[in-house]
């Protein structure tokens, strides 16, 4: 018995990694599983190709030299910010970063002006009133939205009020009883008939408590300004009254918003 107990203790004291290696043999995938895994990886690569970055709008005058200068300026800025133990070295690296930043900004200005000059050469002698002249005089216009609609008689609306009135007439037609079809008459008749069904069971105090306790805190209140925390505190003070209020709403079919 002692040998068995010692053996069980030794097994318990085995480190987790060693025990897992002894108890669980290496798992090998079957050929079918390998095919499924390979196919899944290929599909994922096709749907989500690696190293793909969404490209936004590029600046036409941005050059490779400006790109290299920007990387160098950022590297000098990071090196200057990380130097905290040596004040003299920090000041030296700060000057290097400031100088590189000024050179980078000056290069950007030169390329921008150069690009504008090249764009201005597109103006011909025959047509001096092209896009360059419009930009210089600030006369560029964006695409205008259509603000008029066509009426049923072929005429078009002239003001914004007329356009809105036509939209309301088309989207929200007038409910005229004289234009009702047989289907509409049946629906109107059904809405006026009382519904004879058994009433729902009234809420119990425990049901109301469970619902109120599930209300999430720190939520924006409704227009009446009552938050979920206020509802919880009020129910703790007058649980019977609140349960009676909810039952009255259920009985009368009236659920006021305020």
Domain assignment of residue 226, given as a range: 205-252
Buried b (16+ CB within 10 A) or exposed e, 140-179: eeeeeeeeeeeeeeeeebeeeeebeebeeeeeeeeeeeee
Q: Is residue 33 in some structural domain?
A: no
164 versus 45: which is more confidently predicted? Answer: 164
Q: Is residue 223 in some structural domain?
A: yes
Q: Do 74 and 127 belong together in one domain?
A: yes
Q: Is residue 245 in some structural domain?
A: yes
Instruction: Give the total number of structural domains in the chain.
Output: 3
Q: Is residue 142 in some structural domain?
A: no
pLDDT tens profile 186-195: 988 888 887 7
Q: How sure is the predictor about 70, in pLDDT bands with cuts at 50, 70 and 90?
A: very high
Q: Is residue 163 in some structural domain?
A: yes
The fraction of the chain above a pLDDT of 90, given in percent, is 22
Q: How many whole angstroms separate alpha carbon 175 and alpha carbon 169? A: 11
pLDDT tens profile 216-256: 888 888 777 788 888 888 899 999 998 998 998 888 888 77
Q: Do 68 and 130 belong together in one domain?
A: yes
Q: CB 76: neighbour CB atoms within 10 A?
A: 19
* CA distances from residue 12 to 5, 22, 102, 214 in whole angstroms, order as listed: 11, 13, 68, 44
In this prediction the pTM is 0.33
């Amino acid at each position: 018995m002692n040998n068995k107990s010692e053996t069980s203790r030794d097994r318990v004291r085995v480190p987790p990694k060693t025990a897992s290696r002894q108890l669980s043999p290496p798992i090998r995938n079957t050929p079918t599983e390998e095919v499924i895994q390979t196919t899944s990886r290929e599909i994922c690569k096709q749907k989500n190709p690696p190293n793909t970055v969404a490209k936004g709008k590029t600046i036409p005058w941005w050059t490779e030299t400006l790109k290299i200068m920007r990387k160098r300026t950022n590297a000098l800025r990071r090196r200057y910010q990380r130097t905290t133990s040596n004040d003299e070295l920090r000041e030296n690296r700060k000057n290097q970063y400031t100088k590189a930043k000024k050179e980078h900004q000056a290069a950007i200005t030169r390329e921008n002006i150069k690009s504008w000059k090249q764009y201005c050469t597109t103006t011909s002698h025959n047509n001096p009133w092209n896009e360059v002249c419009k930009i210089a005089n600030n006369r560029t216009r964006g695409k205008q939205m259509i603000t008029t609609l066509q009426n049923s008689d072929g005429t078009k609306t002239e003001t914004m009020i007329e356009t809105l009135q036509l939209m309301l007439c088309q989207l929200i037609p007038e409910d005229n009883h004289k234009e009702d079809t047989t289907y509409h008459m049946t629906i109107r008749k059904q809405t006026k008939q009382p519904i004879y069904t058994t009433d729902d069971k009234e809420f119990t105090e425990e049901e109301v408590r469970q619902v109120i306790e599930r209300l999430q805190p720190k939520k924006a209140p409704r227009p009446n300004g009552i938050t979920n925390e206020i509802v919880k505190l009020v129910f703790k003070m007058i649980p019977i009254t609140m349960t009676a209020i909810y039952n009255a709403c259920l009985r009368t079919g009236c659920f006021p918003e305020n």
